[in-house]
Every structure is written in C-alpha cells, then in structure tokens.
C-alpha cells in the first residue's frame, strides 16, 4: 500500500471532498485521514503504487478552491493499532488517529520531515522582468523557505536566475509555479542541481576577484528583511496550467556535419511525436528522427530520442532539461548514436 501526503487542504474540505478529488482512482475504505493543522495536511492510502503515481498528477490542482501539493509519504500502516471515532471524526476506520499509541504518527512525521529537510533544493527561473530583484523572488516564493538567490547569470543558452531553497521539497513545490506571473511576465521554472549552483557561484566568485567588486551576488531572504529592502509594490501572481515554453524565432540554422542525438526522459507516456516536436520547437524535424523507447513488452516508456541536423535545435533541446512537463520534470542529455541503438534494441 502506498500513502500520499497532501498539503494545502481547505479547512472546509471533508473526507468525501478528497474522495471526489480522486474520483477516477480507487481509495480503499478507511483510506483517507485529515490532519488539518497550519499546513492543511491529509493522508490518502492507495492499494497500488500505480494508482498512487497517477494520483501525483493531481498535485498543484485545486481541491475545494485551494491548490494542494502531493508527495509520497514515508508513513506505513503495518503494525499500527487504530480505533474508530464516531461523530464528526475526520479519520476513516483503517487510518491512525491522533490517539494512536506511543505517538506513532508524530514520530513518523518528525522522521519524514527530518529526511526531507536534510538537503537544499534548487530551481532555475527564466523570463523574468529586467527589473527583478532578489526581494521580488523571495516574495514570489513567499510560502517557501528561500535561502539564496543569484540573478542575471547565464544558464545554458539563456540568462536567468538561480534560487536555493532550504530543502528539496520546497524546490519540488516551486516547479508548480511554472507559468505564473511576476508582474506582467510569465515565469518559467525549471529544476536545477547543486552542481550547477556551485559552478555558477564559482564563476561569480571569480568575477568578484577579477573586477574587485565586493558586493555579493546572492543574498538570503533574512538578509533582505533585516536590511529592510523588501519591495513595497504588490506583485500580481496568477496560476495557470503548463504551456509550451516560449522561444525566440530562430535565424538561419547552421547544419551539422554529423547528427546530434539527445535523450529525453520523464516525458508523459501518452505524448505524441507531434507534441514532442512542439515541446522542443522543432516542427521541421522528420517523424522518423524521433524514436520512442519501448520496454521488453513493447509498451511505451517515458524516454524518447531526437536526432537533429542543426546546432540550434540541438542546443535548444539540451536547454529544456529540468523543464516542468505534465506531472514531472524532463531530463534531456546528449547521447551517441551507438548508445541510442543499444538502448533501442
């Protein structure tokens, strides 16, 4: 049995509201438990891992007017002693209640939170207004713990912003801000890595020594607050569904002397070749230059290979790595034709 942890639940939402939210998925009797609290938490049990993975696609959607965030919980039911509460209880029969012995729930929750908070998380932002400040970024992600911000750095083919969060869960939740507005600009939010953060930080450090500039590029939100530099103008932020990333019209393309192959992972399994071409902004690429990887049973996987004949398309594809598509983030990397053939056979 797999359990999901839900955050952001409306205080007016009840057990039946949660079941209706996942109406296309099977939740066993007693498989919903509302904790509430300041985080608006609830737990939902699914009998199969496949149903739980499908349920994760609902993360970021509105449940009774409030956007909820879902993630896999480390809570386990085995060995827990539970009791049924009558009346207005928000715990179904088979889930632990606040009266579970030995503080089992609190112990599991503390262990789970400790696990998620041990490592920082990172994201990249693109499409920001030129006047964007670090204070604006902290306000944009005001519901999360932003530790540091690096503005106006080259990330692949574009200039953007790097944001460091206190934990990986905040960085994961930040991906659902993709497509939201900062002022009048639609912001692209993509995943990033500690390796990228360290690399950019080193480049900034080298620039400091070279130019003799003592001002820091990065600053924590606490520093901003202490310096009383928080922006006074309200930000207009709206949510929107994922849209194909905007891209600048390309000029004359430079043909490559050899083919360049990229491997894209974590694509939606129902994505067509036409939709893949739209995502990677390469409408002229031949259909047979897009190969979908199949498993041993002949079923589609979440991996596809794209073969390019021009450097601009190739570089644009690589730059999309970390982009939020569907319920997850895609990973795009360069591979050889030989590796592609070996994986396809």
Chain segment 34-46, per-residue pLDDT in tens? 888 777 888 999 9
Quick one: CA torsion of 282, 284, 288, 290, rounded to 10 degrees?
A: 0
pLDDT, tens digit (0-9, with 9 covering 90-100), for 3-47: 888 988 988 899 999 999 998 899 988 889 888 877 788 899 998
Q: What is the mean pLDDT of residues 106-134?
A: 71
CB 137 within 8 A of CB 163: yes
* Structural domains for the chain: 2-116 (3.30.70.330), 121-226 (3.30.70.330), 255-344 (3.30.70.330)
What is d(CA 114, CA 99) in angstroms, rounded to the nearest whole number?
23
With H, G, I as helix, E, B as strand and everything else as coil, classify residue 171.
helix
* Residue-averaged pLDDT of the chain: 75
- Beta-carbon contacts of 70 under 8 Å, excluding residues fewer than 6 positions away, are 4, 5, 6, 7, 55, 56, 58, 59
Phi, psi of 299 (to 5 degrees): -90, 150
Total length of the chain: 345
pLDDT, tens digit (0-9, with 9 covering 90-100), for 205-215: 776 665 554 44
What is d(CA 148, CA 168) in angstroms, rounded to the nearest whole number?
14
Output 84 or 223, whichever has higher pLDDT: 223
What is d(CA 155, CA 171) in angstroms, rounded to the nearest whole number?
18
Confidence of residue 231 (pLDDT cuts 50, 70, 90): very low
pTM of the model: 0.46
Measured between alpha carbons, how far is residue 251 from residues 41, 133, 285, 311, 313 in Å? 50, 31, 16, 12, 11
Q: What is the mean pLDDT of residues 230-259?
A: 42
Per-residue pLDDT, 158: 77
The whole-angstrom distance between residue 56's C-alpha and the CA centroid of its chain comes to 11
Order of strands across the sheet with 41-46? Answer: 32-36, 41-46, 2-7, 69-72
Q: What is the mean pLDDT of residues 243-265?
A: 61
- The pair of three-digit structure tokens given for residue 296, joined into one six-digit string: 């041993």
Percentage, residues of the chain above pLDDT 70: 71
Q: What is the mean pLDDT of residues 226-243?
A: 34
């Amino acid at each position: 049995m797999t359990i999901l942890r839900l955050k952001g639940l409306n205080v007016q939402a009840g057990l039946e509201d949660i079941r209706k939210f996942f109406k296309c998925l099977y939740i066993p009797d007693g498989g919903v438990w509302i904790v509430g609290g300041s985080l608006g938490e609830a737990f939902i049990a699914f009998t199969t891992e496949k149903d739980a993975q499908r349920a994760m696609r609902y993360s970021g959607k509105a449940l009774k007017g409030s956007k909820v965030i879902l993630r896999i919980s480390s809570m386990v039911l085995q060995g827990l002693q539970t009791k049924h509460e009558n009346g207005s209880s928000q715990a179904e029969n088979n889930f632990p209640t606040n009266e579970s012995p030995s503080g089992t729930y609190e112990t599991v929750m503390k262990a789970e939170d400790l696990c998620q908070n041990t490592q920082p998380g990172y994201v990249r932002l693109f499409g920001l207004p030129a006047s964007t400040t670090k204070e604006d970024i902290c306000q944009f992600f005001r519901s999360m713990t932003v530790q540091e911000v690096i503005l106006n750095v080259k990330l692949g083919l574009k200039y953007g912003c790097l944001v460091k969060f206190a934990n990986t869960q905040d960085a994961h939740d930040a991906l659902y801000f993709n497509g939201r507005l900062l002022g009048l600009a639609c912001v692209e939010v993509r995943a990033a890595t500690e390796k990228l953060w360290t690399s950019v930080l080193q480049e900034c450090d080298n620039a400091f020594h070279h130019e003799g500039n003592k001002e820091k590029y990065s600053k924590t939100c606490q520093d901003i607050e202490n310096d009383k530099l928080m922006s006074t103008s309200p930000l207009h932020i709206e949510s929107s569904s994922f849209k194909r990333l905007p891209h600048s019209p390309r000029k004359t393309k430079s043909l490559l002397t050899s083919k360049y192959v990229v491997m894209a992972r974590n694509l939606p399994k129902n994505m067509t070749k036409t939709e893949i071409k739209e995502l990677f902004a390469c409408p002229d690429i031949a259909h047979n230059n897009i190969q979908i990887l199949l498993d041993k049973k002949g079923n589609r996987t979440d991996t596809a290979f794209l073969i390019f004949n021009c450097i601009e398309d190739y570089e644009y594809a690589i730059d999309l790595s970390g982009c939020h598509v569907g319920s997850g983030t895609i990973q795009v990397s360069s591979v050889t034709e030989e590796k592609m053939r070996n994986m396809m056979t």
